[in-house]
Amino acid sequence: MRAITLVAATLSFAAGPLAAQDMPSTPGGERALEILEEAIAIPTVQGRGQVPVLAEKLTQRLVAAGFAAGDIAFTPMGETGYLTARYPGSDRQAKPIVVLAHMDVVEADPADWERDPFIPVVENGFVFGRGAIDNKGDLAMVTAAVIDLKQQGWVPSRDIVLLFTGDEETQMATTQVGAQALSNAALVLNADAGGGELAEDGTPFVYTVQAGEKTYADYRLTVTDEGGHSSRPDDTNAIASMSAALSKVAQHRFPAQLSPLTKAYLEGSAAQAAPGIAATMRAFAADPTDEQAADALSARPEYVGVVRTTCVPTMVEGGHATNALPQSVTANVNCRIFPGTSRADVQQTLTQLIGDPAVGIQFIDNGTIESLESPLDPEIMAAIGRAIEERAPGLAIVPGMSAGATDSMHFRALGIPALGISASFIKPEDEFAHGLNERLPVATLDPGVEQWKKVLTTIAG
Ligand SMILES: [Zn+2]
């Protein structure tokens, strides 16, 4: 996924709109476009066995740029797999830095698209194609950046390892195994989260560093009953019991919470927020027991996820005939859990809240794991800040938490800090990750490659 950041763009800038750019103008940007076009043309959708094909193309490019063939490995896992490419540093004993991106994409039906999703098209300042933003654009920029650095003869102070996974959009099994293989990493820089937001007129508005994500959880609620003819109702009714349970869930408010990350996010993004809400954000960041501020933030979809754990009924199914008492009703409750709270704790809360032993509650394991926050190391944040400052002087840099799961969680679970620092700058309304007519602004490629180079040469310089 490309994580949705939680920032409201409302300001307008005095600067004029940036002209749409149809071709990159630097060698790095040109190479990134070439890699991106090649990658889009390989449909790395689950089940099509194309991830190894893309991995092989990337391997050839890295070897041609001077990477030792022995430093690159593709590990097959079923029809997919993951690629690692080691850029050796001067201190081979130091813990490596991992740069993480994914090669797979979400399925796309050509019938629904204006253009074939697997034929890259450059038009009106955009590269169109499945994966353009999620995540082949950054995959291409990272690859172009390390090729540039290698050709310039740069040697990092410690190893840098590219880890390109092959099932981020589905099982994340390649991530899990890749994370285990690189469990000695000092830091993970994830190209598939965070990134730059452009204002309406195309000027950079804010840059988000993703340092945490909420834990995803689904719970299946079940009520069963003997049923019978609807003309002879008795004391119990499965639909009525489920309705009561679900309305308790919908009305419940989990306690407001503040973490170092959400505090930094609220304080950092208040300056960009609408005037009415900025004071509320600062008030809550200063005092999370301020219920008025918590309520005001919870009333807005862009902030509700930052304030607390949320649980909401998302599906319901029950009954079998219009004239029969229902024998069974099931429902799904989807929760986005504040980092640090366990899924077992949330299940217990739901059980107490519903308070009806007739309602069974079962956690559905979809392979995601419980998320942790990454600490905001001042030195690393400063390095990222320097790269952004070069690209967009004065731009606000705000740490953020995303609402869903990214590859980073598998490293955070091993105690390795992971920061999402995509080099894609895009307007929120141009974001079509997972959607139709997915696109990436061509203008992000030249500075994006430079951003990755600057980040790597600063952190591992
Ligand atoms: Zn993604």
pLDDT given for residue 6 in this prediction: 44
Confidence of residue 100 (pLDDT cuts 50, 70, 90): very high
CA of 409 to the centre of ligand 1 (A): 13
CA of 296 to the centre of ligand 1 (A): 31
Tell me which of 332 and 18 has the higher pLDDT: 332
Give the pLDDT confidence of 285-311 residue by residue, as tens digits: 999 999 999 999 999 988 999 999 999
Q: Out of 6-15, 262-271, 364-373, pick the least confident.
A: 6-15
Residues 6+ positions from 66 with CB-CB distance below 8 Å: 150, 151
Give the pLDDT confidence of 31-46 residue by residue, as tens digits: 999 999 999 999 999 9
- Give CA–CA dist 443/445, Å, rounded: 6
pLDDT given for residue 87 in this prediction: 98
- Give CA–CA dist 316/45, Å, rounded: 30
CA of 67 to the centre of ligand 1 (A): 26
CA of 41 to the centre of ligand 1 (A): 17
CA of 51 to the centre of ligand 1 (A): 15
CA of 439 to the centre of ligand 1 (A): 14
- Give CA–CA dist 409/94, Å, rounded: 23
pLDDT given for residue 115 in this prediction: 87
pLDDT given for residue 20 in this prediction: 64
Cα–Cα distance list, 76 to 37, 140, 165, 427 (Å): 24, 21, 11, 36
Give the pLDDT confidence of 156-182 residue by residue, as tens digits: 999 999 999 999 999 999 999 999 999
Structural contact between residues 419 and 384, judged by C-beta atoms closer than 8 angstroms: yes
Structural contact between residues 223 and 360, judged by C-beta atoms closer than 8 angstroms: yes
- Give CA–CA dist 376/416, Å, rounded: 12
- Comparing CA positions, the residue from 117, 115, 99 lying closest to residue 107 is 117
- Give CA–CA dist 361/358, Å, rounded: 10
3-state secondary structure of 313: strand
* Preceding omega of 135 cis (within 30 degrees of 0): yes
CA of 311 to the centre of ligand 1 (A): 24
DSSP characters for 63-109? HHTT--GGGEEEEEETTEEEEEEEE--SBTTSPPEEEEEE--B----
Give the pLDDT confidence of 42-95 residue by residue, as tens digits: 999 999 999 999 999 999 999 999 999 999 999 999 999 999 999 999 999 999
CA of 78 to the centre of ligand 1 (A): 20
3-state secondary structure of 360: strand
CA of 285 to the centre of ligand 1 (A): 30
CA of 45 to the centre of ligand 1 (A): 12
| Mean pLDDT, rounded, for 12-19 | 41
Q: Report the run of H or E that residue 317 belongs to, with start and end.
A: strand 310-318
* Angle made by CA atoms 249, 371, 76, in degrees to the nearest 5: 120
Strand order in the sheet with 121-123: 121-123, 126-128, 439-441
Structural contact between residues 123 and 62, judged by C-beta atoms closer than 8 angstroms: no
297: tokens are 């933030």
CA of 141 to the centre of ligand 1 (A): 15
CA of 300 to the centre of ligand 1 (A): 26
**For the whole prediction, is pTM greater than 0.85?**
yes
- Give CA–CA dist 142/449, Å, rounded: 7
* Angle made by CA atoms 219, 225, 226, in degrees to the nearest 5: 155
Q: How far apart are the first and last CA of the chain?
A: 30
pLDDT given for residue 105 in this prediction: 97
CA of 98 to the centre of ligand 1 (A): 17
- Comparing CA positions, the residue from 76, 39, 57, 334 lying closest to residue 191 is 39
Cα–Cα distance list, 249 to 68, 292, 314, 331 (Å): 56, 22, 11, 12
CA of 46 to the centre of ligand 1 (A): 13
Residue 179, judged by CB atoms within 10 A of its CB (0-12, 13-18, 19+), counts as buried
CA of 105 to the centre of ligand 1 (A): 8
CA of 135 to the centre of ligand 1 (A): 5
CA of 1 to the centre of ligand 1 (A): 3
27: tokens are 């060698």
CA of 266 to the centre of ligand 1 (A): 25
